[in-house]
Amino acid sequence: MPTSALSQEAQSSTQSQNENTIVGTVVSSTRDTLVVRTEDNQFQLFVFDRYSVKPRLLTNGARVRVVSTPAEDGVRLASTVTISEPAAGTPGGTAADQAQPIPPVVRDLEHDIKRQARRWRVGVRAGAALDPELILFGVHSQLGPIFQRNVFFRPDAEFAFGEVTDLIALNLEGIYRLPMS
């Protein structure tokens, strides 16, 4: 006996109360963040997650409509971003958009979000050795900064295969960057 089921979860009243729509001009956009200047000259910072729906390119000066919900640290999570009016002729937007700088508090928060997004990285390694003859490949990850801004943890695994020798290595590396520019 077949039964019907809903394909989407119904939106609760608290969820719809927390949704907010803001229309404004793009001042800055990165892969993880978006800063919009509203009509009343307020700057609003949004973050994106993997479920956010946004255009591929958000240029400065474009008019956008952002539907968002509350997120951590006083910022809002953008769920849908749509462009209502493309940016005026110049790539940086209009002169009015460039005349007002983004407040330092918003810039600092944007940089903190970018830094948090870069805390974990993954990479691959490959190589060859002549004596003994080996083909090497491996993976590594970098976590950090941890404990302080110059300390990182980088574990890796290497696998090497040769005519005579096989090698498996697991390394737990710690990195300290000297605090120089």
Q: What is the pTM of this model?
A: 0.49
Distance of CA 170 to the CA centre of its chain: 29
CA pair distance 87, 73, nearest whole angstrom: 30
Tokens of 105: 């508090």
User: What pLDDT does residue 90 have?
Assistant: 45
CA pair distance 60, 98, nearest whole angstrom: 9
Q: Count the neighbouring beta carbons within 10 Å of the beta carbon of residue 41.
A: 8
CA pair distance 84, 5, nearest whole angstrom: 35
CA pair distance 21, 38, nearest whole angstrom: 11
86 closest CA partner among 26, 127, 150: 26
Q: Count the neighbouring beta carbons within 10 Å of the beta carbon of residue 24.
A: 21
Sheet holding 134-143, edge to edge: 120-129, 134-143, 151-162, 166-176
155 closest CA partner among 167, 139, 168, 134: 139
Longest Cα–Cα distance in the chain = 73
Residue-level pLDDT, tens digit, the chain, 181 residues: 554 444 444 444 445 557 889 899 999 888 888 999 998 988 888 988 888 888 888 888 899 999 998 876 677 889 899 998 887 764 444 444 444 567 777 777 777 777 776 677 889 999 998 888 899 999 999 888 788 878 889 999 999 999 888 989 999 999 898 877 5
112: left (phi over 0), alpha (psi -120 to 50) or beta: alpha
